[in-house]
Each structure stands twice: as structure tokens, then as C-alpha cells.
Amino acid sequence: MITKTIFLAGVLTAGLSAESAPSSHQTVTGVAKECSTHIEAALELAEGEASNLANLVTRLRTLGFGQTPPPHPAHNKDSGSEKKELTEEERMIEEDHAAERAGRLKQMSKADIAFVQKLDLNKDFTLTSEEVVKSLQGQIGEAIDERLLVDQNQDRRLTGKEYSLSVPARGEVGEDGMDWHQRGHFKHEDSNGDGYVDEHELLANQASEMLQKAQQIHFVMELSTLDQNEDMVLEKEEVGDFLDEKLWEKLSATTGSIPTSSLWQQSYWLGGEQMAPSLRKK
């Protein structure tokens, strides 16, 4: 994730002391339960039986779920910012970043589908609250364990050199054991700047991404129910006060309305803190 979301109670923040911070198990459980409430709400909004995953996925697909997301707004070349003269090296770096982002967008759409599929532990296309929580706990734990496979001294934190083993180099490796590409990823994940990416930072990043995805599923399902005349286009009058003015303008900026078939793409880069106020109204 390019932007970190602010997620709800039970998640670690940089300001917590070691004594006051919840344990990893408490954090994972808290996030899994919070995600579950959003998934359950989305299930209830899908047609048919409230626990039917197939109905939810069918409905989500009509809203654009599973399609390649748009580029992040910060990477929009038409953003209006002035383009400076680039050196040959800077141009190569920019082109490499663009290619990496394009590949990552395709992976994101596949990851979205996998996220929902994994919720159904027994593969019966029906979800229970307990099943969703258990699945999410497992997904978070597996993701962190996978990231820590390069933890050579097994201290549950990654140095730059260890971190570089999981990120491909794009240029000359420096004295810190990383090139510019690896270093950029490392600094992004080392949120407290202490020179390590530790288990708590990995947990916070993974939990944040997962909660944001659950919120988005709930968010687009709620929005889709506001299409009162069923013309597959949301107008401002239909949305009412569900979205505040700034969020409406953000989502409808291109056409002045929001096609329901692109709700997933339109909302893809919203942070959890942007969606939460609307969801609390329900």
C-alpha cells in the first residue's frame, strides 16, 4: 500500500510503549473481528441468504471487483505538476518504477479475489462470523511469517540486508546492502525509522491493508444500494448524506456522477479513515 490507513481499536500505533501496546495475538484478533463486521454487513446487503458468499461475489463483480485497479492518484502523469528535466539515470529509475507499478496493479486484482476466496475455509460458499475471523487471523499470520523467511538470525525483525533478500535489486548495491529500489521499499515499511522492519511494523502494515479491503467491500455494497432508480449510475441526490461533499467530489470527479460498475475502481485508493465516517452512518 502506498498510503497507510488509520485503522480502528486494537491496532498498534507508533506512540504506544512496549508496556501498553497490545500483543500481536490481541492485535490480529482485534483486526480480524473488525474486518468480520464489515464482511458480515456486506453479506447482508447481497441478494439471497445473508451468509451466501457466492451472492456477495456475484454482486461485487457487477461493481468492478476483480478488475485491475486504476493507478494511484499520486502517480497520475496528468496531475498537472510541472515535469522537470531528468537525467538519464533519473529517467531509467522513473521508467522502472512505472513498470513495477503496472505489474503490481495486476497482482492487486488477483489478491483481491484471493482475499475473498480465502474467507471460505470449508469451501461451502457460506460464511459464518467465526469462519471469517479464523480465516483473517490465518491470512495475517501467514503473510507475516512469509515476510520473515529472510530473517536470518530469527530475531523477528529485518535489517536492510535481510530485507533486500525479498526485494529485487534494480541498481548498484551500496554499503548498507541495498540498492535505491530496495532502500525505498525498506524506508516505507520502517515506519519508526529505527533501521529495522520489525514484526510490529509488518503486522501494522498487513492488518491495515486487510481492514481497508474489508471496509471497501462494505463501502461499495452500501453505495450500490443507493441507486434508487436502478439505472446503474449514482447521482448526488441519490447518495444524499452518505458521502460528505469532499468524498462525493472525489469519487464523481470525472463525470459528475458515479457508474455503479466502477465503484470498486473509483474507491480503490480511499483510505480507511475516508470510508469510516460513511460506514458509521449505517
Tell me the pLDDT tens digit for each residue of 158-205: 999 999 999 988 888 999 999 988 998 899 899 999 999 999 999 988
Please give the pLDDT value at position 171. Answer: 83
Q: What is the mean pLDDT of residues 212-218?
A: 96
Domain assignment present for residue 220? The answer is yes
Top-confidence residue, 49 or 269:
269
Domain assignment present for residue 82? The answer is no
For residue 20, pLDDT over 60 is answered with no
For residue 17, pLDDT over 60 is answered with no
Domain assignment present for residue 53? The answer is yes
Domain assignment present for residue 54? The answer is yes
Range of the domain at 64: 24-75+89-159+196-280
Entry pTM: 0.83
Domain assignment present for residue 155? The answer is yes
Amino acid, single-letter form, for residue 235: E
Q: What is the mean pLDDT of residues 46-73?
A: 88
Kindly list the distances between the CA atom of residue 16 and the CA atoms of 6, 13, 20, in Å, as whole numbers in the listed order: 15, 6, 6
pLDDT digit string (tens) for 84-112? Answer: 677 876 777 777 777 777 778 888 999 99
Domain assignment present for residue 137? The answer is yes
For residue 82, pLDDT over 90 is answered with no
Rounded Cα–Cα distance for residues 31 and 22 (Å): 12
Indicate the average pLDDT of the chain.
85
Q: What percent of the chain has pLDDT over 90?
A: 63
Please give the pLDDT value at position 270. Answer: 94
When divided into structural domains, the chain yields a total of 1
Task: Return the DSSP state at 72.
Answer: P
Rounded Cα–Cα distance for residues 256 and 254 (Å): 6
Q: How many CB atoms lie within 10 A of CB 169?
A: 13
Domain assignment present for residue 93? The answer is yes
Rounded Cα–Cα distance for residues 154 and 5 (Å): 29
Domain assignment present for residue 136? The answer is yes
Amino acid, single-letter form, for residue 216: Q
3-class DSSP string for 139-186:
HHHHHHHHHHHHCCCCCCEECHHHHHCCCCCCCCCCCCCCCHHHHHHH
Please give the pLDDT value at position 44. Answer: 92
Top-confidence residue, 180 or 149:
149
For residue 253, pLDDT over 90 is answered with no
Kindly list the distances between the CA atom of residue 229 and the CA atoms of 153, 225, 238, 239, 245, in Å, as whole numbers in the listed order: 61, 10, 9, 12, 22
Please give the pLDDT value at position 10. Answer: 38
Question: Which pLDDT band holds residue 11 (cuts at 50, 70, 90)?
Answer: very low
